[in-house]
Amino acid sequence: MQRVSEAQVSIDEKVHGSINAGLVVFLGIGEMDVDDDLDYIVKKITQLRIFSDEMGKMNKSLIDIEGALLIVSQFTLYASTAKGTRPSFIKSAKPDMAIPLYEKFIAKCERLLPVSTGVFGADMKVSLVNDGPVTIWIDSKEKK
């Protein structure tokens, strides 16, 4: 995810979704992901204190600042580059599994905050102004 001051996703040169202050979540769904993983990620992205308070310290959450989410599906996050020069995506979930989880993730987030999205599987152009820059990787399989 990236903390942004603004962001948008376009499909076929038309803006499909946009936000002002908030987070762009590039959501990669792996073949081992389940509903519990969604709950973990939703809690983390909405409650992680990565927005500045009045003193300029990262002390506020997305909920605290009443920010928004732009959620973009991105299977390429599961790229394996161990062999050769062409990435393998075999660890990313197939669409029949990934689409329902992607849709559930969006629904869970919409209960808490304003949400904009891309379109699963579409060729999208994402524009954003990374604020900070702040970019954080969250892996639901590494709950420590």
Residue 18: inside a domain:
yes
Residue 141: inside a domain:
no
Residue 85: inside a domain:
yes
Residue 73: inside a domain:
yes
Residue 122: inside a domain:
yes
Residue 140: inside a domain:
no
* Partners of residue 80 on adjacent β-strands: 88
Q: Tell me the whole-structure pTM to 2 decimals.
A: 0.93
Predicted confidence band of residue 101 (pLDDT cuts 50, 70, 90)? very high
Residue 143: inside a domain:
no
Count of domains for the chain:
1
Catalytic site positions: 74-76
Domain range for 20 is 2-135
Distances (CA, A) of 54 to 27, 46, 57, 58: 30, 19, 8, 10
CATH number at residue 34: 3.50.80.10
pLDDT tens for 45-79 read: 999 999 999 999 999 999 999 999 999 999 988 88
pLDDT higher than threshold 90 for residue 96: yes
